[in-house]
């Protein structure tokens, strides 16, 4: 699969990452190579193989509906880049 610059831009936008336009060509090549490598998996016949969604073979790892311990308000907010005494603060999303 070939990744073009538009796809690269879309992926960057979705991931909220910025990249240097000058390196775009190199990045599309790298990504194409990565995908080509993953596509090798297509060579395996998986006709009767059920897809797995988790590496564990466990089922029904459930929790009873009981309230447990919380992170304290102060510790929760501790690593926030911006905050006040009550809230996490982020750049304004809506006007």
Partner 1 sequence: MLPKAIKEKYELVVGLEVHAQLLTNSKMYTSDSTEYGNLPNTNISVITLGHPGTMPKVNKRAVEFAMRMGLACHSEITRRNIFARKNYFYPDLPKGYQITQDKGPICVGGQVPITLASGEEKSIALTRIHMEEDAGKSMHLAGEVDTLVDFNRAGVPLIEIVSEPDIRTSEEAYAYLVEIKKLVRYLDICDGNMEEGSLRCDANISVRLFGDPELGKKVEVKNMNSFRNVARAIEHEFERQIELIESGTEIISETRTFDATTGTTASMRTKEDLNDYRYFPEPDLSPVVISEEWLSGIKAAMPALPRELHHKFVHTYGLPEYDASVLTDSKEIALFFEKLCTETENYKAASNWMMGPVKSYLNELTLHISDFPVTPEKLAALIHLIDDGKVSFTVASQKLYPEMLKNGQKQPLEIAQDLNLIQESDENSIKPIIEQILSENSKKVEEYKSGKKGLMGMFMGQVMKKSQGKADPKVASRILTELLEND
- Given the rule CB under 8 A, which residues bind partner 1? 10, 13-14, 16, 51, 53-56, 58-71, 73, 76-77, 82, 84, 86-95
- Are 5 and 24 spatial neighbours (Cβ–Cβ below 8 Å)? yes
CB of 77 to partner 1, least distance (A): 6
Q: Which of 26/34 has CB closer to partner 1?
A: 34
- Are 55 and 49 spatial neighbours (Cβ–Cβ below 8 Å)? no
Mutual angle of helices 24-39 and 5-14, in 10-degree steps: 90
CB of 91 to partner 1, least distance (A): 7
**Local structure of 75: helix, strand or coil:** helix
Which has the closest alpha carbon to 31: 73, 74, 2? 2
CB of 49 to partner 1, least distance (A): 15
Q: Which of 22/57 has CB closer to partner 1?
A: 57
Q: Which of 17/44 has CB closer to partner 1?
A: 17
């Amino acid at each position: 699969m070939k990744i073009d610059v538009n796809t690269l831009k879309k992926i960057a936008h979705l991931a909220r990452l910025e990249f240097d336009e000058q390196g775009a060509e190199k990045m599309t090549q790298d990504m194409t190579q990565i995908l080509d490598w993953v596509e090798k998996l297509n060579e395996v016949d998986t006709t009767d193989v059920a897809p797995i969604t988790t590496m564990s073979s466990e089922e029904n790892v459930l929790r009873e509906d009981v309230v447990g311990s919380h992170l304290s308000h102060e510790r929760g907010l501790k690593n926030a880049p911006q905050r006040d005494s009550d809230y996490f603060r982020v750049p304004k999303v809506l006007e």
